[in-house]
Amino acid sequence: RKEVEQDPGPFNVPEGATVAFNCTYSNSASQSFFWYRQDCRKEPKLLMSVYSSGNEDGRFTAQLNRASQYISLLIRDSKLSDSATYLCVVNRGYSSASKIIFGSGTRLSIRP
Amino acid sequence: SAVISQKPSRDICQRGTSLTIQCQVDSQVTMMFWYRQQPGQSLTLIATANQGSEATYESGFVIDKFPISRPNLTFSTLTVSNLSPEDSSIYLCSVEEGATRANEQFFGPGTRLTVL
């Protein structure tokens, strides 16, 4: 079983729809959590950090459920430009990249 | 956030040769990292490039195959040696920002390597 698991998708939704992804992690000692976005043939870019209390940035909402060991990303009013692969990232430790684990990504395609 | 550049952006190399990838950051950073992203896969950390000391390699990666230099706080190189087709991948450098434990990583644009 992978330490960080995501549904690979693809999720194919119409423009304007709301879409949500989950990501589960197996190491209960994990400390910090992130969502990255990766466009085709581009580098990953940080979308948002995920805080225990949940956080919102415009149309994007991220939540953390430590009890069930998952994080989620909700995209409201989806735009064509939201089409990308969304990577769940979990940091198992403090300030150490060797403890950062990338999920394999969830592909999202928004159709007109 | 830091601006990161990589050279070359892509290359096609023959089996048995080596490729050196450069990563330049526009500010001084303590932590620089090298990742590999194979086709259709997520990112795998190769090593942490430490300034003034040897790089720290992850399991499955060795210095002879992936020698790394970190001569100062803004620059690093990764060499992929004795190339084989299995080395065809995207190689990305990244830096870590933030003094808190919730450090966030920022990536260079990547180097796309094809080995024939």
> pLDDT tens, A53-73?
889 999 999 999 999 999 999
Decide if A35 contacts A88 (C-beta within 8 A). Answer: yes
Name which of A42, A38, A37 is nearest A59 in CA terms: A37
Decide if A83 contacts A71 (C-beta within 8 A). Answer: no
Alpha-carbon gap, residue B82 to B14, rounded angstroms: 9
Q: Which residues of A touch B104 (CB under 8 A)?
A: 34, 46, 49
Interior angle at CA A27, CA A10 and CA A63, nearest 5 = 55
Return the pLDDT at A31. 82
Amino acid at B65: K
For residue B107, the distance in angstroms to the closest alpha carbon of chain A comes to 6
Report the 10 Å Cβ neighbour count for A72. 17
| B102 — pLDDT class (breaks 50, 70, 90) | low
Q: Does A91 touch chain B (CB under 8 A)?
A: yes
Kindly determine whether residue A46 and residue B106, on different chains, have CB atoms separated by under 8 Å.
yes
Q: Which residues of B touch A94 (CB under 8 A)?
A: 101
Q: Which residues of B touch A71 (CB under 8 A)?
A: none
By CB neighbour count within 10 A (0-12 exposed, 13-18 middle, 19+ buried), where does B81 fall? middle
Q: Which residues of B touch A46 (CB under 8 A)?
A: 104-106
Decide if A43 contacts B110 (C-beta within 8 A). Answer: yes
Q: Does A42 touch chain B (CB under 8 A)?
A: yes
Q: Which of A44, A46, A97 sits opposite B45 (nearest CB)?
A: A97
pLDDT, one tens digit per residue, over B29-81 is 888 999 999 988 889 999 999 888 889 999 899 999 999 999 999 999 999 99
Kindly determine whether residue B45 and residue A87, on different chains, have CB atoms separated by under 8 Å.
no
**DSSP-derived 3-state class of residue B73:** coil
Using DSSP bridges, classify how beta strands A32-38 and A84-91 pair: parallel, antiparallel or unpaired.
Answer: antiparallel
| Residue showing tokens 């919102």 | A56
Alpha-carbon gap, residue B93 to B102, rounded angstroms: 19
